[in-house]
Amino acid sequence: MEPEVLEAELILPTYLSFKRVQTYEKYPKGQARGRHWKHLKQILQAENYQNYPPDEPNYVNIESPPSMHPCKRICDITGFEAPYYDPRTNLRYANADVFKTVRSLPNEYVQRYLALRNAAVVLK
């Protein structure tokens, strides 16, 4: 190891005296250990929230509902108010100038702009 790396104590030591179980004992090296953690979705599924009264707050039911206000539409490219919508690319645009750019955009960029608002075509 380089001296400056050691000096900065960049690297977490593998042995720490205050630990009862060291990391290398818990997760032995070179041993196929698979995935030992669950995704958030799996965790939530395992919680079995449906077995509890619905008025009891839990991680899932405290989520906010969709908005009641009409959605403000903005131009995907400039961020101005977007009265128009291009049916070919599905992008919203503010004026004729932006429309020109929209039509000259390569499809990859169109998809990336759409992906920003989670509207891209996802091929599976």
Partner 1 sequence: MPFISQIDRQSDYNLVSPTTPIVIDNGASYFRIGWAGETDPRVIFRNIVQRPRHKVTGETVTIVGDHNPALMKYFDCTRSGPRSAFDSNVVYQFEIMEYILDFGFDRMGANESEIDHPVLITECVCNPVQSRSKMAELLFETYGVPSIAFGVDAAFSYIYNQQHGVCNRDGLALCPGFTTTHVIPFVDGEPIYKGCCRTNIGGFHVTDYLKQLLSLKYPYHLARFTWEKVEDLKMEHCYIAQDYASEARLFQRGVKEAEEKTRCWQLPWVPPPTEEPPSEEEIARKAAIKEKQGQRLREMAEAKRSSRINELENELHGLEFLLQQLEQVEESDIPSFLRDTGYVSKQEIDSARNKVTQSLRKAKGEPKSEQTETEKADPLASEKYSLINIPDEMLTPEQLIEKKKQMSLKSMSEGRQRLKQKRYEEEMQRERKQQLEEERRLENPELYLEQLHAKYKDLSERVDQRKRLKTNGNHSNGNNLSGGVGRGERLNAAQRERMRLLTTAAFDRGKGEDTFGAKDEDWQLYKLMSKDNDDDDEGPDEDEAELARISSRLRDLDPTFVPRLETGSSQPAEAPRIRPLTKEDFQIVFGVERFRCPEILFNPNWIGVDQVGLDEMTGVSIRRLPYKDESLEERLTKSILVTGGSSLFPGMIERLESGIRMIRPCGTPIKIVRALDPVMDAWRGASAYASASLFHTQTFSRMDYYEKGEDWLRSYQLQYTL
Binding site for partner 1 (CB under 8 A): 1-2, 4-5, 8-13, 16-21, 23, 26-27, 36-40, 43-44, 46-47, 55, 57-59, 62-69, 71-72, 74, 78-81, 94-95, 100-101, 104, 106, 109, 112-113, 116-119
Q: Which is nearer to partner 1, 72 or 124 (CB)?
A: 72
The least CB distance from residue 49 to partner 1, in Å, is 9
Closest CA to 82 of 113, 120, 115, 122: 113
Phi and psi of 92, rounded to 5°?
-95, 145
Looking up tokens 């995935």 gives 35
Q: Shortest approach of partner 1 to residue 102 CB, angstroms?
A: 11
State which residue, 68 or 123, has the beta carbon closest to partner 1. Answer: 68
- Rounded to a whole number of angstroms, the minimum distance from the CB of residue 79 to partner 1 is 4
Phi, psi of 53 (to 5 degrees): -55, 140
**Residue the block writes with tokens 């009264």:** 53
* Residue 25, phi then psi, degrees to nearest 5: -80, -35
